[in-house]
Amino acid sequence: MVPTGELRRYLPRWENERHLPRCQAFCPTGIPVQKRWSLIRSGKMDEAIDLALTYTPFPATVCGYLCPNLCMANCTRQRSQLPPLDVAGLGKASLTARIPTPAPSSGKTVAIIGGGPAGLSAAWQLWMMGHAPVIYDVQERLGGKITATIPRSRIPDEIVDHELQRVQEQISNVLLKKPLSKK
């Protein structure tokens, strides 16, 4: 039930989950920002940090370093003259996140063309659903634009390496230097 009246204007609530909160609606990965902060307020910091891995394999790289923080820009706390909550710090803390438990194996194998952020995110979501993704990439290393284009001054190498290693530990079928052809 969504509260109404004078308080509703200043402290919006999203209990019925019929509509997305603005912060989550603007998040490119769809991480439920309000749910994370609710977990933190309840003293469940580890669960809040772990939650991001169910949505993206790159919570520290993306949320902590690359994202323009659209969730913070669209935070409804600003309407009541409060600063938005800092999501970048929470993203950086997710290096210690526990790996989520995937669904039981479906027995299905799915080919993923490209080992960049989009391909790895798709492979991660398929793995979470119980499928067995196989990643094909022509490069020598996974990561795509994260490792090849973004300047190293924006993201520490150890952050990217840690998250790529975490993906490869869960998704073992990675075929690098494999160009696709008609054969």
The pLDDT tens digits for 90-122 are 888 888 889 999 999 999 999 999 999 999 999
Q: Which CATH number is 131's domain given?
A: 3.40.50.720
The structural domain count of the chain equals 2
Same domain flag for 67 and 142: no
Same domain flag for 81 and 155: no
Q: Is residue 90 part of a domain?
A: yes
The pLDDT assigned to 131 comes to 96
At residue 1, does pLDDT exceed 50? no
Q: Is residue 13 part of a domain?
A: yes
**Which residue's structure tokens are 């659209």?**
70
Same domain flag for 19 and 89: yes
Same domain flag for 167 and 130: yes
At residue 138, does pLDDT exceed 50? yes
Q: Which residues contact 50 (CB under 8 A, 6 or more apart)?
A: 94, 97, 98, 100
Same domain flag for 58 and 121: no
The pLDDT assigned to 2 comes to 43
Q: Is residue 102 part of a domain?
A: no
Which range marks the domain in which residue 136 is found? 109-176
Q: CA neighbours within 13 Å on the CB side: how many for 119?
A: 23
Same domain flag for 14 and 78: yes
**Arithmetic mean of pLDDT, 70-90:** 75
Same domain flag for 91 and 134: no
Average pLDDT, the chain: 84
Give the residue with greater pLDDT, 67 vs 168: 168
Same domain flag for 115 and 168: yes
CA distances from 59 to 31, 66, 73 (A): 10, 10, 18
**Which residue's structure tokens are 């949320």?**
63
Residue 114's nearest CA partner among 145, 135, 128 is 135
Q: CA neighbours within 13 Å on the CB side: how many for 2?
A: 15
